[in-house]
Amino acid sequence: MRTRRLGRSGLTVSALGLGTLTWGLGVDEEAARDQLTTFVGTGGTLVDTAPTYGGGAAEEWLGALLDREVAREDVVLLSKAGLRRGAGGRVVDPSRRGILDSLDGSLRRLRTDHVDVLLVHAWSDEVPLEETCAALEYAVSSGRARYVGVSNYSGWQVARAFSLLESARVPLVADEVELSLLQREAEHEVLPASEALGFGVLAWGVLGRGILTGKYRGGVPPESRAASRAFAGSLEALLDERAASVTEAVVTAARGLGSTPAEVALAWVRDLPGVSSALIGARTMAQLKAALSSDGLTLPPEIRTALSDVSA
């Protein structure tokens, strides 16, 4: 698998990353093992997780697998902090306490003394950004994290965090954002900021939450993400006429290239300027293998342009 630097840092990551959002939500421990060993076996290195994934199960399983199935040094381990589940639902807490308590819990579940990359999971208007960045600085200075970054930050938010961390001599190396042919907002601010400042973009939702695979062209399959209680809400707003038009363009391009729609959609995101890695969140081994096969596909310029135009 092709590899890239994470922004201008010295850290090398695989151009496709393994996401673990589905672990514990439709993916059991045995299937998680198969996903990880298959991913690493094809040359993948970047594994993305978080304390909230599967209610902690994703990190627990990953920690056990790194102990017995895959060598820890073969994986670039990325986790997040500053988001947790409370009695009333999601709690965003990127305070010093929230960041460091979350990180310590992750390290216990992951059975390691450090993560390679630690991201702030979400922006908060309630916590001073200076406090959040100071917590990231301490995570690095204490050895708990090798690199730090943010997730779901807009262009101005990541630029401000970059400036604060730069003054502390701790580089911000990544912003993880949703990016696909259906969700292109990151192109307006985040990708230009990444080019100007030198951090890498980690793209999630690269298949339009599964829509760009073409599986919803004839309705909602009963085994699909849109049919599940856990993920249906995240798809409802995307299943519209524009999504149908873009999906048809992806299917047409795939047919002409002799590839699959998933490969085409992934390749389009993976090769955008500024993107260091496109994250795969598979529920089945078939989905994972189909996504990994995109590593061998480079879209012709005219097809990239056509897809960009139809999805603009």
Sequence-separated (6 or more) residues with CB below 8 Å from residue 252: none
| pLDDT at res. 237 | 63
pLDDT band (50, 70, 90) for residue 310: very high
Q: Where do the structural domains in the chain lie, given as residue ranges?
A: 3-209+274-297
Task: State both tokens at 300.
Answer: 């012709």
Computed from CA positions of residues 48, 50, 52, 55, in that sequence, does the dihedral angle turn out positive or negative?
positive
pLDDT band (50, 70, 90) for residue 227: very low
Q: How far apart are CA 171 and CA 149, in angstroms?
A: 8
Is 153 a known active-site residue?
no
Strand partners, 3: 14
* pLDDT tens-digit series, residues 106-120: 999 999 999 999 999
pLDDT band (50, 70, 90) for residue 225: low
Q: Which residue has the tokens 């999504």?
A: 243
Task: State both tokens at 124.
Answer: 């908060």
Tell me the residue type at 112.
T
Q: Which residue has the tokens 């580089």?
A: 171
pLDDT band (50, 70, 90) for residue 218: low
Cα angle 15, 37, 54 (rounded to 5 degrees) comes to: 85
What is the mean pLDDT of the segment spanning 34-63? 97
Among 3.20.20.100, 3.30.70.100, 3.30.429.10, 1.10.10.10, name the CATH number for the domain at 3-209+274-297: 3.20.20.100
What is the mean pLDDT of the segment spanning 274-296? 94
- Asked if residue 135 has pLDDT above 60, the reply is yes
DSSP label at residue 19: E
pTM score above 0.95: no
| pLDDT at res. 89 | 82
Q: How far apart are CA 107 and CA 113, in angstroms?
A: 6
* pLDDT tens-digit series, residues 74-101: 999 999 999 988 777 889 999 999 999 9
Q: Which residue has the tokens 């400036």?
A: 163
Contact 49, 16 (CB under 8 A): no
Contact 77, 11 (CB under 8 A): no
From the list 53, 147, 153, 216, the catalytic residue is 53
Distance of CA 91 to the CA centre of its chain: 20
Contact 206, 14 (CB under 8 A): no
Q: How far apart are CA 312 and CA 309, in angstroms?
A: 5
| pLDDT at res. 236 | 65
What is the mean pLDDT of the segment spanning 117-126? 97
Q: Which residue has the tokens 């001073």?
A: 128
| pLDDT at res. 228 | 53
Q: How far apart are CA 111 and CA 65, in angstroms?
A: 10
Nearest to 4 by CA among 256, 199, 247: 199
| pLDDT at res. 221 | 57
Whole-number percent of the chain with pLDDT over 90: 88
For residue 58, give the 3-state DSSP assignment: helix
Q: How far apart are CA 8 and CA 164, in angstroms?
A: 17
Q: How far apart are CA 164 and CA 158, in angstroms?
A: 10
